[in-house]
Amino acid sequence: MLERCGIPIPADILPTDNIHSMPGFDEYQAGDLTDDQYFEQLGKYLGGISSEDAQRVHLSMLIEPFPGVLEIVHQLNAKAIVTGCLSNTNAPHWHDLAESGRFPAIQAMRIRMASHLIDAAKPDPRAFECFLDACGLPPAQVLLFDDSQANCVAAAELGWKKATRRGRRDHENRHYVRSP
C-alpha cells in the first residue's frame, strides 16, 4: 500500500496480511473512530506521515474488482436469488465500493450493508443479525462468502452456510505491522 502511494516504508514496519494489527483499524470499521482520528493514528503508526498521506495509503487498499463476480451477481439476481454485501468497511472505502462505480458487483447486489453504518462488524453476531433483518431470510438460507475464517465460523454458529476464499492478489495488498 505504501509503495503504491510513493511513501517510503519505515524500517520498523514489516509486511503482514493482518490489517487488524494496524492501530484503530477495527474500531474505525465499527464506526467508533472518526475519519480524522483514524487517519491521525494511522499516520503516526506509519512513521509520522501526514493525515492526508495516511488517507491516501488507506484508500489504496482497494485495488480492483475480482473478475467474474459481476456476472455471477447478475445471474443470481435474474433467478430472483437475494444477493447482498455485508462488508466490514469504513466511509471512504464504502464510497469507493458502493458509490464510485469502480466495483459494479457491489452496486448490483440487492442488499448493501456496511459495518460502520450499522455500528457492528463481523464477526460480531449483531452484524449478521442486522443483515438477516434486511434480507428477511432465515440463517440456513444465507450463504456467506468471506476471506476471514473468524467471520465464517461466527456465521456458521448462527446457522449460516459459509465458504472461505482468500483473495487472488493477497501478495499485492500487503498490510503492515510494527516489528516487536
User: pLDDT per residue over 159-168, tens digit each?
Assistant: 998 766 655 4
Instruction: Please check the confidence at residue 175 and state whether its pLDDT lies above 60.
Output: no
Helix boundaries (H) for 60-148: 69-78, 91-94, 104-108, 115-118, 125-135
If you average pLDDT over every residue of the chain, what do you get? 84
What contacts 112, CB < 8 A, 6 or more positions away? 84, 85, 87, 98, 106
Distance between CA atoms of residues 73 and 88, nearest Å: 20
Instruction: Please check the confidence at residue 37 and state whether its pLDDT lies above 70.
Output: yes
The fold adopted by the segment(s) 69-164 is: Rossmann fold (3.40.50)
The CATH 3.40.50.1000 domain(s) of the chain lie at 69-164
Distance between CA atoms of residues 19 and 175, nearest Å: 5
What contacts 108, CB < 8 A, 6 or more positions away? 70, 73, 74, 77, 83
Mean pLDDT for 77-104 is 94
Task: Return the C-alpha cell found at 86.
Answer: 455485508
pLDDT category of residue 1 using cuts at 50, 70 and 90: low
